[in-house]
Structure formats: C-alpha cells, structure tokens
Amino acid sequence: MKQALIPEFYDLSERILNSGDGYWGNLGYWQPGNDYSMACEGLARQLAAAVDLNPDSRVLDAGFGCGDQLLLWLRDYHIEYLCGINYSISQTELAQQRLSHAGYHDAANNIHQSDVTVLSESTEVTTKNINTVLALDCAYHFPSRKKFINDSYKILKHASNDDNKTIGFTDIILAETAAGNKISWEKRLFLNIMLRLSQIPQHNIMTLSEYENQLKQAGFEHVVSQDISDQVFLPFGHWLNSQEDSIKKAAGKRSVWLKYKITTVFLAWAYKNQVLRYVIVSAAVES
C-alpha cells in the first residue's frame, strides 16, 4: 500500500466535533439532548443491534476510523474476536494506540491500514472464522461496495460451525423518487458534483431495492433494512449549526469548518428534495 504523499481525506479532524476523549467520525443517530459523540455512539449501537452483536461474535470491522467503535464492541459487547481494516494511515495508527492503551493488545495487532479491495487476500481475515462483518457509515466511500459484499460473503460462508453469520451496514442510498429519470438534470448534476467532492463513487449510490439485490446475488439471505433518515440528515446539520462558534475556534483553519458546513448543506438538500436516504441494512449467510 502506497503511503500518502498529500494530506489524507480521512484524517483526525473529527476530533474537534467530539466531547470527552472521542474521535468518532460518523453522521450519528440523533436523539434529543445528544451531543456529537453520543449521537455517533448511538449509530454504532443501532448497527450492533441489527446484527445482534454478542460475546460469540468474531468481527471484521471495515472502515473503523479512529477506533471508537472498536472500543465499544470490545467493552460493551464483549465480542470474542476483533480484526479490522481501514484506509487512513493516521486513523489506523491512532486506533492501534488507543486499543493498546485500553489493554486490548491482541485487537490492536489485528487491525491494519489497508484497502477493502484486497479484503479477500488478507490471511488475518480468512483464517479466523469471522462470523460478523461491519461497515459503519463508510461503505459508500468504498471503491466498490459490490466487491466488498461479494468478498464478505466468501469470508462468512467459510466460517465453520456457526449459525449466525451476518453482515451489517449503516449507509447512504438513493431514494426511489430520485432513481432513473425521476429528478431533473440540474439535481442530478449537483448530486454527482457533491459525490465527487465527497469521494463517493457514483456507482455506490443506488436504491434500496438495488442494494438488496446485490446482497442476494452475492448469496446473502434474510435481508433486513430500516430507514433512519429522520434521525440522521437534518439533526446532524442542526447540531453543527448550533455549535458553529466553538467548532470554528477549534478548527483553526476555515477550510476545516467549511468541510462540515458544506456536508450539512448537501445532506439537507438531499433529504428535503428526496434524493438520498440513510439506512441500516443487515443480511445473513445460511450455514
């Protein structure tokens, strides 16, 4: 894997959004009274519930950020085994340090900086009887979600002696009302520009029915989805706007604040114009 020669797109900048010692970096599942860290943890717990995370879970976490969710899986769900891959160099190094500092030395050694496109080539993954694959608020950034789904199915299918083999996502999808020619070319153009700026491949933004079909075509069964758009898109923007002064001060650079502000404007536009939705999706592999 080539080392980054320019500033990383996925870095440690979300630290300024967090309270306490958090480094969370997702859009959050918002309830009244939440701050950013609480909302991000809430989204992680929604995903954990969708896949029934438990002490028998042997987890591969793809796109684990700075490690907050890894610590949550280990501390609160007492999972049996953890490994993970993450594209960002700086995030992965920090996550390894945080796991080691918390006493999870084996887990720290089992998470690596890597691209999900080589998932099926990792012996750390393929030899450990992984029964749960997680992608928390990140799969829309993958070079190909379809390849990730297919590779995950192969990994889960070969896990021995396990009746609960599950994959789970929290993810952005295309609203059915925006599919095909149902939106104007101006909205389609704006969507494509924003996806490019956000480093989201256009082919990853598909309708829920297309998403479910990809899972089924890979071999997954019992596909379950839940639309949580109302708890994600607008509340994230409302919170960010309410914290504008403190975040600007913490950010230092105007470009850092603008990154978050533009994100909230885009998500609000996509939500209000029924272009994008936010979902939790899980599916199982039959033993």
Region of 20 (left: φ > 0; alpha: ψ -120 to 50; beta: rest) is left
Q: What are 171-211's pLDDT values in tens digits?
A: 999 999 998 888 899 999 999 999 999 999 999 999 999 99
Q: Is 157 helix (H, G, I), strand (E, B) or coil?
A: helix
Region 140-152: mean pLDDT is 96
Print burial letters for 173-195: b (CB count within 10 Å at least 16), e (below 16).
bbbeebeeeebeeebeebbeebb
In a domain, 1, yes or no: no
Residue 128 has pLDDT above 90, yes or no: no
At residue 119 the predicted structure's pLDDT band, cuts being 50, 70 and 90, is confident
pLDDT at res. 125: 66
Predicted TM-score (pTM) of the model is 0.94
CA nearest 86: which of 58, 114, 66, 125?
A: 114
In a domain, 10, yes or no: no
Range of the structural domain that residue 46 is part of: 32-285
In a domain, 244, yes or no: yes
Residue 39 has pLDDT above 90, yes or no: yes
Taking residue 50's Cβ as centre, other Cβ atoms within 10 Å add up to 21
The CATH number of whichever domain residue 42 belongs to comes to 3.40.50.150
How many structural domains are present in the chain?
Answer: 1
> Please, is 63 exposed, middle or buried when counting C-beta atoms within 10 Å of its C-beta (0-12, 13-18, 19+)?
buried
